[in-house]
Structure 1
Amino acid sequence: MSDAPSAPPPAAPSQGSLNSLILVLGACGFASTFTMRLLDPLVPTLAAEFGRSIAQVAAIATAFSFAYAIGQPFLGPIADSLGKLRTIATCLGALALLSLAVTFAGSFEMLTVVRMVAGIAAGGIIPVAMAAIGDRAPMAERQIMLGRFLVLMIVGQMAGAACSGLIAEHLGWRYVFVMAGSLAAIAGVLVLVVLKPRPDARRAPLSFAGALANYAAVFANPRSKLLYGLVIVEASLIFGMPPYIAAILQERAGVGPSQAGLVIAGTGLGGIVYGVLTRILVERLGPARMTVMGGIVMGLAFALFSLAFLPWWSAIAIFTLNGFGFFLMHGTFQAQATELAPTARGSAVALFACALFCGHALGPVLMGTALHLFGTSGAILVFAAGITLLGFSVPRILPLAGSRT
């Protein structure tokens, strides 16, 4: 049971306002994840462009994720104090400008720095949108609402991975970021025009003391530290792979960035399947069984990807399976995070995102080390075993709200 103080229940919003909320915040998530994953298919292209190794270019993903993570402790209190919708719109505007700035990158160092700053801006979109949904949806419906939000968000992930390879091959990699900036700008305008802040929202003035009080409320719940630790492990095991997929497929089958983008987009397709089935999964399995099943499915997908003799196109189905497994586990974690501290929900979800992207940043480093020590197939199998073990461990480590006994 949570030790955090309870917030008064919000007035029930109309179905129309909820639909508008999910559609617009889904567009924001689309723009954010489009930007987030678009670099993965371009790793070999950028390595050749700037005369760097695959590992060095893959480290840009670590830089983006690390910046995303370190921005969270500041963005959470800002969203709680100034308003979540205002925070989302501002961060989308900054992300649009930074995406356009990448097109002028004349050196590898400039590209890395701009992507790092873009990571901070991106950090004020999806976590804050999740908190906004948590403000409006009761816990019984929250994982289902978040699942619908994820569908639109994941389409952005798929589009970012698939389109970036195609655009890079036909127009050049810089045009990928022109599209990313345009999408972020459009989403920001939608937030300002369509969505309105809650009239009954109570916000404390932004202050250092207020931020500390919010984080004290989060950590008053003993489940918080457990959940955040598990999310770091989950993200390390899952997000270590994407920056290396294009290089692995190029080594195995000589495929280019467009084919690699389709493979990486498979993860998003699996997430869409999860989003469509969320209500059925939540009602029939419950959170505990969903995390176990997610670990098993992801472990199986990684094990299949370790088989180098399979044709490259089989990886599309493999990563679709992997994406479904990931969201079985991670969707459950997300719903739990929104209830850790109802009076400081923006801060709680920001810390959740911070933990996620700390793991996101650590993953490519761990995968790079594993590839050096065990070779491609061995490294993938090590990660497969780790994510399977995590799935079985979660219900034994973390009490999950709504779990079935």
Structure 2
Amino acid sequence: MDPLLPLLATDFGVGVAAIAPVVAGFTLAYGAGQLVTGPLGDRFGKVWVASIALVLYGVGLAASALAWDLTSMVVLRTGTGLVAGAVIPLAIAWIGDAVPYAERQATIGKFLTGMVMAQLLVGPVSGVMAEIAGWRASFLVLAALALVVGVLMLRRAAPEPRVATTRGLGLSQYGVLLRAPAGRRLMGAAALDGAVLFGGAFPFIGAFLIERFALSPGQAGLVVAGFGIGAFIYTRLAKRLVARLGEPGLLGVGGGVLAVALAALAVAPAWWVVALLQVPLGMAFYMFHGVLQARATEALPDSRATAVSAFAMALFLGQSAGALAFGAVLHAGGYGAVFALAAAATAGLAAWVAGMPLR
């Protein structure tokens, strides 16, 4: 979505800041949908539920391509977000089932390689396609991809019902998680992570490049793809970094580098400076976020999908709040204020989580 935001704003006759509800609506629904998708994955099989969700996500993307104004886009993206949230959390929860904790962060790092390769491709492809055929074409191509992959997964997967240990969907497990002090701290850290980074800083980088430095959407997508290069470097080094720094060290170093890079974005004098900052941003983000994600897989070992979904719910509810709050900051103070505030907040968050016990 990053390189498409200015195009959506132009098409719907609004400013970029007014597009924030499109991001917020999707992420709010993404987080709220976790309430059901996690317990469903625990009961019927994580891969099976994720596959169904991916097919429905493809349908939602195709419908979003038909949006005729800002209100309709917000409604359609919100509906799509309800099913989108099942895919990645259930996949990570499945890894939690299959891999011992000592190896889990490195394995999640390998899984993230697929996500990183998508990041490397989707920004440039989306931006270039939007330049050639309009932003609706980007939605339609991704919808076709989601539908094809989802159907193929459904043909390979099968329902895996387990013996129920609780009545209903097992929603009471969310209460078990939140009654534990470590669970509450983890959810709080996820919400702040989502608000400051997913909602506060990262979504505006593409629009910043387009509006401040007059890059085209395709060029902005290529610059933002540098974030994926940094993330890919992390996935290759994850096992060694965990062994050398430990989880507190990863949180501290990753959060510190994130804060410095965001502060540098706030005063970047040229687009190539923003491009150079994308690699350390990507690597540091996954150093920081990866520890929190690995801890989530161990928060409720008997209901792992529920725990990972709770983490995702907190993350993306935080992102929704952050998108709205930082949209207001953008309107009042510009991009420099957005990145400076995100830098300060990230530094505070990193200091907190690096020093607190998360188990």
TM interval, shorter chain, is over 0.9
Q: Per-residue displacement from partner, 1:166-208 (whole Å, max 9, x unpaired)?
A: 100012211111211122123213423445677xx73418853
How far off is 1:73 after superposition? Answer: 0.9
Query: Does 2:67 match 1:108?
Result: no
The residue number in structure 2 matching 1:93 is 55
Secondary structure (helix, strand or coil) at the match of 2:134 reads: coil
Counterpart contact for 2:186–2:358, Cα < 8 Å: no
Q: Per-residue displacement from partner, 1:284-341 (whole Å, max 9, x unpaired)?
A: 11110000011111011111111242x2133122122111111111100010000011
Counterpart contact for 1:81–1:204, Cα < 8 Å: yes
How far off is 1:72 after superposition? Answer: 0.7
Counterpart contact for 1:130–1:349, Cα < 8 Å: yes
Query: Does 2:149 match 1:187?
Result: yes
Of the three residues 289, 303, 309, the one matched with 2:263 is: 303
The residue number in structure 1 matching 2:280 is 321
Of the three residues 242, 246, 253, the one matched with 1:286 is: 246
How far off is 1:156 after superposition? Answer: 1.6
Secondary structure (helix, strand or coil) at the match of 1:258 reads: helix
Greater per-residue helix proportion: 2
- Relative to structure 1, is the Cα distance of residues 219 and 379 closer, same or farther in structure 2, using a 3 angstrom cutoff? closer
Pairs within 5 Å for 1:362-381 = 362-381=321-340
- Relative to structure 1, is the Cα distance of residues 186 and 312 closer, same or farther in structure 2, using a 3 angstrom cutoff? same
**Partner letter of residue 44 of structure 2?**
L
Distance of 1:377 and 1:68 partners within structure 2: 28
Distance of 1:222 and 1:243 partners within structure 2: 31
The alignment yields a C-alpha RMSD, in angstroms, of: 1.9
Q: Per-residue displacement from partner, 1:253-272 (whole Å, max 9, x unpaired)?
A: 11121122123222222211
Pairs within 5 Å for 1:2-401 = 39-195=1-157, 202-204=162-164, 207-208=167-168, 210-239=169-198, 240-309=200-269, 311-397=270-356, 399-400=357-358
Counterpart contact for 1:287–1:400, Cα < 8 Å: no
Q: How much identity, in percent, do the aligned residues show?
A: 36
- Relative to structure 1, is the Cα distance of residues 332 and 302 closer, same or farther in structure 2, using a 3 angstrom cutoff? same
Distance of 2:251 and 2:104 partners within structure 1: 17
Secondary structure (helix, strand or coil) at the match of 1:285 reads: helix
Counterpart contact for 1:217–1:344, Cα < 8 Å: no
The residue number in structure 2 matching 1:3 is none
The 10-residue stretch of structure 1 (183-192 or 121-130) with the greater mean CA deviation from structure 2 = 183-192
Distance of 1:371 and 1:110 partners within structure 2: 23
Q: How many residues align?
A: 358
Counterpart contact for 2:230–2:283, Cα < 8 Å: yes
**Partner letter of residue 207 of structure 2?**
A
User: Unaligned 5+ residue runs, structure 2?
Assistant: none
Q: Per-residue displacement from partner, 1:95-121 (whole Å, max 9, x unpaired)?
A: 111111122222222222111111111
**Partner letter of residue 221 of structure 2?**
G
- Relative to structure 1, is the Cα distance of residues 110 and 376 closer, same or farther in structure 2, using a 3 angstrom cutoff? closer
Secondary structure (helix, strand or coil) at the match of 1:394 reads: helix
The 10-residue stretch of structure 1 (102-111 or 350-359) with the greater mean CA deviation from structure 2 = 102-111
- Relative to structure 1, is the Cα distance of residues 259 and 251 closer, same or farther in structure 2, using a 3 angstrom cutoff? same
Distance of 2:173 and 2:88 partners within structure 1: 19
Counterpart contact for 1:221–1:340, Cα < 8 Å: no
Distance of 2:214 and 2:89 partners within structure 1: 37
Report the TM-score, using the length of structure 1 for normalisation: 0.83
User: After the TM superposition, which segments of 4 or more aligned residues of structure 1 sit over 6 Å from their partners?
Assistant: none
Counterpart contact for 1:82–1:203, Cα < 8 Å: no
The 10-residue stretch of structure 1 (148-157 or 372-381) with the greater mean CA deviation from structure 2 = 372-381
Secondary structure (helix, strand or coil) at the match of 2:170 reads: helix
**Partner letter of residue 294 of structure 1?**
G
**Partner letter of residue 285 of structure 2?**
F
How far off is 1:371 after superposition? Answer: 3.0
Q: Per-residue displacement from partner, 1:208-261 (whole Å, max 9, x unpaired)?
A: 3x4233223433533111001011111211121233223322332111211221
Report the TM-score, using the length of structure 2 for normalisation: 0.94
User: Unaligned 5+ residue runs, structure 1?
Assistant: 1-38
